[in-house]
Amino acid sequence: MKDRKTNRRTFLKTAAVTTAGWSIVSARSVAGTTANSKIRLGVIGSGGRGYFVCSKFQNNVPDDVEIVALHDYFEDRFDRIVERFKVPKSRCYTGLDDYMKIVEAEDVDGVIITSPPYFHPEQTERAVAAGKHVWLAKPVAVDVPGCLRIKETGKKAEGKVTLLVDFQSRNSPFFIEAVKRVRNGDIGPMITGEAFNQFGRGGWANTEGMSKVAARIRNWGTDPVLSGDIIVEQAVHAMDIVNWIIDATPVMAYGTGGLKVRLNAGANWDHFIVIYTYPGDIRVDLNCSQFMQKGYDNLGARIFGDLGAVHAHYRGADWGVGPVKITGQNEWAGTEHDNTWDIGVNNNCKDFVKSIRTGEFINHADYSADSAMTSVLGRAASYRQAEVTWDEILKANEKLDAGPEIRG
């Protein structure tokens, strides 16, 4: 594995894509307009998640999509995708900034961005400016400036290219039906709720012989700047569900937490406890943890109203927990087997292609940035162990600093 150093300022100054003034290059006209043409995608971040998404595209829309180029900081990340999708080695780019070779390529119609979240705002902005359709993994950003940058990029993408964010619950028919029933008043006025994101410890890659920068990027999931900490990188799923059901963002949060168990695997905390306050004095508590070796894994939310409750579990009975359903005065059985992990991704693949084919472009930037900012609010409150408001984090506009070798 080569550890490459790149002068980001020099590279980005000479890049053909210019975001200043926001002139978006037109997408290749044949993509999405010719029924028998394949949509050609580049992958930015070719590790496990990148491979998973490519596989989902192949499984769901094999005649519509072709993987033509790859980027990752590490050369060994290409192996599985190259083997399965026959991407030429000449189209595999390494380093921090060589993703621009994909962004600038005329034969690339869209990009799959599954890189560490710290890089998402810049990579998304530059892809959209180049007229590329974007499939973006969550979270869209790790701090307030990044969230605001995604929102601004979304405005520029509107009506020009698709910007799809892969929140699987948003494209599950069972979640959609549950939220519809809440909107229709089936649980009555909302009073309180709970959100949960509880998983095992996660892995720690061997970084022997790597530079400090390479080691951080290899283990980005345990780096509080590159990942945003577990409350942003993981619990954003749960808080997106809460925001969606309540149809609002929180006005304040109080939190706590720490690092007690996972002491030899990075600096991320292994648990957060946050109480969010939403408009109308609706309070929702979040339990976010990542330290158990075996046992109870769970992701989802419950919101309680004066007529009943909506239960929105991410994978339902598949994980041995409750399904997506409504209980109370207006019961709805929902489903015992909503594997949102698969259903939502499959539907997102199909919708991504359909939006490009029809020109009815998808834009998830705004609510996805709000969900990331909800997690950022909870992180700020927990780190400070104090009450923090939404307006305060907006005003502070604090940017996480990855250091000069990564930051540029």
pLDDT at 15: 41
CA 252 to CA 203: how far, in whole Å?
A: 33
pLDDT interval class at 341 (50, 70, 90):
confident
For the chain, counts of helices (H) and of strands (E)? 14, 15
β-sheet with 332-335: strand ranges across: 332-335, 324-328, 308-313, 298-305, 190-200, 282-292, 271-278, 252-258, 387-389
- Please give the domain boundaries of the chain with CATH numbers for all domains: 8-169+347-363 (3.40.50.720), 172-339+373-404 (3.30.360.10)
pLDDT at 291: 87
Evaluate whether 193 touches 186 at the Cβ level (below 8 Å).
Answer: no
Looking at the chain, the whole-number percentage of residues with pLDDT higher than 90 is 77
Segment 111-163, tens digit of pLDDT = 999 999 999 999 999 999 999 999 999 999 999 999 999 999 999 999 999 99
pLDDT interval class at 30 (50, 70, 90):
very low
pLDDT at 25: 59
End-to-end Cα, the chain, rounded Å? 22
More confident residue, 209 or 225: 225
- Please spell the DSSP secondary structure of 142-202, one letter per residue: SSHHHHHHHHHHHHHHTTTS-EEE--GGGG-HHHHHHHHHHHTTTT-SEEEEEEEEEEE--
- In sequence order, the β-bridge partners of residue 311 are 302, 325
pLDDT at 407: 67
pLDDT at 19: 43
CB atoms within 10 A of CB 399: 13
| Of residues 260, 268, 262, 264, the one with CA closest to residue 207 | 264
CA 244 to CA 247: how far, in whole Å?
A: 5
pTM: 0.92
CA 116 to CA 223: how far, in whole Å?
A: 10
- In sequence order, the β-bridge partners of residue 301 are 195, 312
Segment 353-382, tens digit of pLDDT = 999 999 999 999 999 999 999 999 999 999
- In sequence order, the β-bridge partners of residue 342 are none
Average pLDDT of the chain is: 90
pLDDT at 298: 85
Residue 9 CB-density burial (10 A; 0-12 exposed, 13-18 middle, 19+ buried): exposed
CA 185 to CA 330: how far, in whole Å?
A: 9
Mean pLDDT for 203-224 is 90
pLDDT at 297: 77
Q: Which residues contact 274 (CB under 8 A, 6 or more apart)?
A: 231, 253, 254, 255, 257, 285, 286, 288, 378, 381, 382
pLDDT at 319: 63
Evaluate whether 343 touches 172 at the Cβ level (below 8 Å).
Answer: yes
Evaluate whether 43 touches 50 at the Cβ level (below 8 Å).
Answer: yes
Give the Å distances, CA to CA, from 42 to 94, 127, 268. Answer: 13, 11, 30
CA 297 to CA 223: how far, in whole Å?
A: 22
CA 23 to CA 203: how far, in whole Å?
A: 42
- What single letter denotes the amino acid at residue 190? M
pLDDT at 263: 84
